Amino acid sequence: MATLCQPAVWVPEYVVTLDETLSLCRELHSDHEKLPLVLRLIENTGVRKRHIIRPIEETLRHPGFEIRNRIYQEEARTRIPAVAMQAIASAGLAVQDIDAIVFVSCTGFTMPPLTSMMINEMGFRSDTRQIPIAQLGCAAGGAAINRAHDFCLAYPNANVLIVACEFCSLCYQPTDHDIGSLLSNGLFGDAIAAAVMRGSGGEGVRLERNTSYLVPNTEDWISYEVKATGFHFRLDKRVPTTMAMLAPTLSTLTDQQGWNASDLDFYVVHAGGPRILSDLSHYLGVDEHAFRHSRATLTEYGNIASAVVFDALRRFHDEGVANGARGLIAGFGPGMTAECAVGTWSSYTGSDSGSADSRQHELLTSAN
């Protein structure tokens, strides 16, 4: 049974505090007719600081999409290897033990995908499977976990590296003045996260089952409008109400496992904003303390998109979880989409049986 091991998380050195965000908003949008509302919405996010890949003075200037995307590629190539290596080491593995890489990001574009760079420059085997996912936004963290789980179900002794790279600040658009865009300017942060799904052995969440659900006819609630200047984030005012439509998916998944969604030991949830957590508390019937690590990620880093679930899970590792504890992992994003999984905490740290060569033989045999 596959185990999601301890994640590694990196955030950039440049910090923007809530006070600085509010001050910039007042300065840049002093004539906005709904400025008091925007300021109130930003304060209500609960975000106290965020980390960004470039100094704020540089971030506020738009040099063009070409340069922005070049920065994304350069920073990703520079920063990803150390985070990925830390995650692999935490899983008790080596680079040669990895059979597939799931890479998720919605804040930049490359072709070939950055998985190719990792294989070429980090010593992964040339037959490592590449699974890049580019368009699921904040839900991609949960999707990456689920697709890695699916891979390990197909190839039981495989190990999958997951990497989430989100530089949200590179999507800042100075000419977008709608409320959703101004709110996002005070909500999103930058981060890279990585974790390994071990086909056997390892300490972390031993996954039992996963599911996906898309709310019909909500495609335009969270979206990108792609223009010459890059990705323009669009956020519908109905987004905060989506937990009423997505929470039942979490309950159904836990019911299928024979568990009660209101009575689990840990909850690793994407915190797009405080409303998501308070609504989940209501609909699932759990105390808001259950989402303390998701809220801590939001407070300290902002919404770091697909990396949120990995940072929340990292905090559970730091806190310590009892062997056998039952829990839920959930990511939410465009679509509107939920990507959810349930599992039990495993403290087993024994090494995987068999070498990388034997695993690869099984992979090739199964594929053929």
Tell me the average pLDDT of the chain.
Answer: 92
What is the pLDDT at residue 356? 39
Backbone dihedral angles phi then psi of residue 293, each to the nearest 5 degrees: -75, -35
* Cβ-contact 105, 171 below 8 angstroms: no
Mean pLDDT within 68-95 = 97
Output 350 or 101, whichever has higher pLDDT.
101
| Residues with Cβ within 8 Å of residue 210, at least 6 apart in sequence | 145, 146, 149, 150, 253, 339, 340, 341, 342
What is the pLDDT at residue 357? 41
What is the pLDDT at residue 272? 83
Residues of the chain with pLDDT > 70, as a percent, come to 94
Does the annotation mark 138 as catalytic? yes
Look up the CATH number of the domain holding residue 289: 3.40.47.10
pLDDT at 365 over 50: no
pLDDT at 247 over 60: yes
Output 136 or 365, whichever has higher pLDDT.
136
What are the structure tokens assigned to 230, written together?
């890059």
The predicted-structure confidence for 197-222, as pLDDT tens digits, reads as follows: 999 999 999 999 999 999 999 999 98
What is the pLDDT at residue 55? 96
Does 112 sit behind a cis peptide bond, omega within 30 degrees of 0 on the bond before it? yes
What is the pLDDT at residue 274? 87
What is the pLDDT at residue 180? 87
Closest C-alpha among 17, 69, 13, 43 to residue 230: 69
pLDDT at 236 over 90: no
- 3-state DSSP assignment of residue 278: helix
Q: Tokens 């087993």 map to which residue?
A: 348
pLDDT at 104 over 70: yes
Alpha-carbon gap, residue 239 to 221, rounded angstroms: 6
pLDDT interval class at 271 (50, 70, 90) = confident
Output 363 or 134, whichever has higher pLDDT.
134
pLDDT interval class at 240 (50, 70, 90) = confident
- Give the range of the structural domain holding residue 322, as residue numbers without chain letter: 1-368
Is residue 5 exposed (0-12), middle (13-18) or buried (19+ Cβ within 10 Å)?
Answer: buried
What is the pLDDT at residue 235? 85
Backbone dihedral angles phi then psi of residue 18, each to the nearest 5 degrees: -60, -45
Output 366 or 46, whichever has higher pLDDT.
46
pLDDT at 351 over 90: no
Alpha-carbon gap, residue 275 to 261, rounded angstroms: 19
pLDDT at 330 over 50: yes
Task: Kindly name the residue from 138, 165, 171, 340 that is annotated as catalytic.
Answer: 138
Helix/strand/coil percent split, the chain, to 5 = 45, 25, 30
pLDDT interval class at 237 (50, 70, 90) = confident
The predicted-structure confidence for 188-201, as pLDDT tens digits, reads as follows: 999 999 999 999 99
Based on the structure, what is the number of domains in the chain? 1
pLDDT at 229 over 50: yes
pLDDT at 287 over 80: yes
* Cβ-contact 142, 159 below 8 angstroms: no
Residues of the chain with pLDDT > 90, as a percent, come to 85
Q: Tokens 């929340």 map to which residue?
A: 312
What is the pLDDT at residue 261? 95
What is the pLDDT at residue 349? 53
pLDDT at 329 over 90: yes
Mean pLDDT within 327-338 = 94
pLDDT at 73 over 90: yes
- How many residues appear in the chain? 368
pLDDT at 346 over 90: yes
